[in-house]
Amino acid sequence: MTTVSDPATATSAADTSPEATADRPGNSRLTGLGVGALVCVAVAVLAQLPFLRNRLFYIWDDSAVQFMPTWHFLGQRLMAGEWPVLFNADSWMGGNFSAEALFGVWNPVNVANYLLVAQFSDLALAALVLKTEFLVLLALGTYLLTREYGAKRGPAAVVAIALPFSGFTLFYDTSLWAGGLIAFTTLPYLWWMARRLARGVANPLWAFLFGGLAVTSGNPYGVLGVCAVLFALIVEFWFRGWRSRRTETAETAEATSAAGAGGSGAGGSGAGGSGQARRSGRLAALLPVGEDRRSVLRLLVVGVLIGLVVPLVFLPLLGNADVTWRTNQGFMSTGRMTPQLSDFLNLAIPSHEPMIDGFSANKLAVPGMYFAWFVVPLLPWLNWRVLRARWRGLLGVFVVAAGYCLFAVGPSDLWMFRFPLRHVEVIYLALGVVFAVLLSAGLRTDRVRVRALVTGLVLVVNGWLAFATQPFGWRRHLVSLALLGVATAVVVLLTRRSALRLVYPVITLVTAIALALQVLWFPFNRDVANYGFSRSIPELKEVASHYKGTTFQVADVFQANLPTRPDAEQARKTFLFGNVDLVAGVDMVGSYTGMGFRSFSDTVCMGYQGSTCANSWYALQRPTELAGAQLLDLLRLETVVIDRLLIPNPTVPAGWRITQQDRVATVLQRVDSLPWPSGRLSWNSDNVTILDNGSTDDRRETVRFSRTGDQPAQLAFARLAWPGYQATVDGTPVPTHEGPAGLLVVDLPPGIDGGDLTLTWEPRGLTFGLASGAFALLAALVLAVVTRVRRRGHGRFGSASLPG
């Protein structure tokens, strides 16, 4: 029979380091490295299962129209020698990469992956490799974190293998929202290294680097994770020695009180003094001292340095908020993607589709609340007395779990944080740490009948809850219950027979079976958009070969992809939405954007995926305040593609002709070529003569002009008036403003009769962000050197290696 030692002889509460609960026998670093490698291999193999079931699993929804095409494009720009890639004028609303933030252009891991993705001609394969990479990294980070909290190798491994395939992480972050996956992947590494830093066994540079990776991932949830983890660790180490400090101060207070009583008997007034001493003692007991104080200070210093990286990534986002859809963000609650506390009761049934309001239905279409099959069935078999002995060492984990639970059931919109379901995976990371620590103590095999009865009741309740949300899936629920029941019985039987070496492989095998069942039942997330275009770049370029120059698409993404549309297959080979044009080789005005540009989108009826409406075509032909110039000319359009489902037979404007028309689309192209093909100047006042116009890159453009008379004069550019533009004429600043549809207009003041206009753009806050980030990096390097020198002087060296 395998049981846990009594708390009286258990590991001390203050010590949950790997050394405190080391695996015995054979606690070698080589073995630890081997288990870590096996975790990586197992996750890499399991990550292929969704792809084998659905070749597009990893390039679905946002991954298909935003992340993968943009990463391929950024990789190509990098190979051309441009870094950082902050701006692409041809992407219009989606081209301000610095303001979008989520592409993480300052993140070195992202930059390396841009180059990797750019080597593929098939975006589905690129997504498979990329997503597998981050799932493996997430598993390894989870393994290191659980080991740091004292879990043994086997329990740490099974949790680490299971977490990347938990419901939300797999079906949302991995399949759809790559930015969330990347940000989440950095969290266990930061947590692991920050705790080692607090224990005084790691150099602060490592915690800073992992924190910097979390911030520069560009996802605000990465910043939230950094704040949560560092705060939780400060709480953990603040109160780590609280009991001993309380005992010491109580003894001191008693001694002071006794001395005061003696003084009073001798004619003194010691009662007031002794009361003050007791109050001072209680206050002192709350403050960390000695090594605890140094731990807290180390965390605070590193936290400040990581915080100095934030402006580099997010100041451009905030600086552009006034012209985007993101202005006036506050608190609101629509209930979308917001779990209830009751949803956390069913974490182990692979077939459970929780009743959470999704994007297209009142419940999720995938097991979004699933964690791991073994978490719930094994609860009755764990020795919970371990927590009573070690709760202080796990206090940081409890703080993270509690805080994220509040976020998960909170308002659906909290400033930049939407869809509270996104917080669930961090809760599962924290629960995984606690579960691994409990499992490390072994399963209880006494009172078998009672524990088996409780397990059976729990599984029946879980099965009923799953049936309640999806009655038509009752066969799946029965299969899930049978799998969990048999697997739990096998694990308990192996434990009773002391075949512990087989327990963890069996748990992992059942994890793989559960994953296989899930991808069989849920090959894709039908709650989100399915963009039916090809993921083959050569095929996409063939689609775009019919379009010339800057192209405007009058088409609605949902109507274009209607499965009931008679010409659906041809429509998918005609229209390009999101950022797919970046790999197709066409300059499409529409793009995928999380920020938008309010004036532009309102004028031309453009949505976040580049989708438009029938009114867009008419808006392009309306006269504007710039002497009646049309947006057709102000945008320097050369091709317009119109879905005939929206406008069956569009009127052809003067200077345009129909070059192609079939049952799906009408393609119109400009008859005459535009002047100055290397520039973006699209209109000038009658009293201004353009002598030359060219653009060296997206962020800089020059115009040589002459002017007659003193009447007001303006120049308009086929650029959105993003904050950060500056214009000078022969070095003299001239004003700019937002013109029709948000286009950039330069005013030429009286007295300027000609010269060279230079137009430049720089993201708002970039200079401050670079200075702040550089200072943080320099300070972290200095702190790292100082720490190493001091430790060498004391004869001890920190290690950031994988625990044995």
pLDDT in tens, 719-773: 999 999 999 999 999 999 999 999 999 999 998 999 999 999 999 999 999 999 9
Q: Which fold has domain 681-764?
A: Immunoglobulin-like (2.60.40)
Residue 572 sits at the vertex; the CA angle it makes with 566 and 577, to the nearest 5 degrees, is: 130
pLDDT confidence of residue 799: 45
Any idea which of 214-223, 288-297, 581-590 has the lowest mean pLDDT?
288-297
**Mean pLDDT, range 151-157, rounded to an integer:** 96
CA distances from 508 to 155, 163, 266, 462, 485 (A): 10, 12, 74, 21, 15
pLDDT in tens, 511-537: 999 999 999 999 999 999 888 788 999
pLDDT in tens, 623-668: 999 999 999 999 999 999 999 999 999 999 999 999 999 999 999 9
Question: Which residue, among 666, 626, 227, 721, has the nearest Cα to 426 in the 3D structure?
Answer: 227
Q: What does the block give as tokens for 559? A: 């109507």
Dist. CA 479–CA 456, nearest whole Å:
15
Burial of 486 (0-12, 13-18, 19+ CB in 10 A): exposed
Whether the pLDDT of residue 334 is over 90: the answer is: no
Dist. CA 457–CA 451, nearest whole Å:
10
Dist. CA 381–CA 497, nearest whole Å:
15
Whether the pLDDT of residue 33 is over 90: the answer is: no
3-state DSSP assignment of residue 551: strand
CB 303 within 8 A of CB 212: no
Whether the pLDDT of residue 785 is over 80: the answer is: yes
pLDDT confidence of residue 31: 78
Dist. CA 737–CA 745, nearest whole Å:
5
Pairing relation of β-strands 754-761 and 550-554? unpaired
Q: What band does 299 get if pLDDT is binned at 50, 70 and 90?
A: very high
pLDDT confidence of residue 8: 35
pLDDT confidence of residue 279: 58
The 10 Å Cβ neighbour count of residue 661 is 14
Angle, helices 178-199 vs 424-440, to 10°: value is 50
Whether the pLDDT of residue 272 is over 80: the answer is: no
Mean pLDDT score of the chain: 89
**Mean pLDDT, range 550-559, rounded to an integer:** 94
**Mean pLDDT, range 394-413, rounded to an integer:** 94
**Percent of the chain scored above 90 by pLDDT?**
75
Whether the pLDDT of residue 430 is over 50: the answer is: yes
**Mean pLDDT, range 259-269, rounded to an integer:** 50
pLDDT confidence of residue 383: 93
The 10 Å Cβ neighbour count of residue 671 is 9
pLDDT confidence of residue 13: 38
Whether the pLDDT of residue 584 is over 70: the answer is: yes
580: CB partners within 8 A, 6+ apart = 64, 65, 69, 531, 533, 540
Question: Which residue, among 495, 467, 490, 469, has the nearest Cα to 479 in the 3D structure?
Answer: 467
The upper half-sphere exposure of residue 107, i.e. CA atoms within 13 Å in the direction of its Cβ, equals: 28
Q: What band does 261 get if pLDDT is binned at 50, 70 and 90?
A: low
**Mean pLDDT, range 241-264, rounded to an integer:** 56
**Mean pLDDT, range 284-310, rounded to an integer:** 86
CB 398 within 8 A of CB 435: no
pLDDT in tens, 9-29: 334 434 444 444 456 544 567
Q: What band does 288 get if pLDDT is binned at 50, 70 and 90?
A: low
Question: Which residue, among 66, 88, 67, has the nearest Cα to 78 in the 3D structure?
Answer: 88
- Cis status of the peptide bond prior to 803, with omega within 30 of 0: no
pLDDT confidence of residue 530: 83
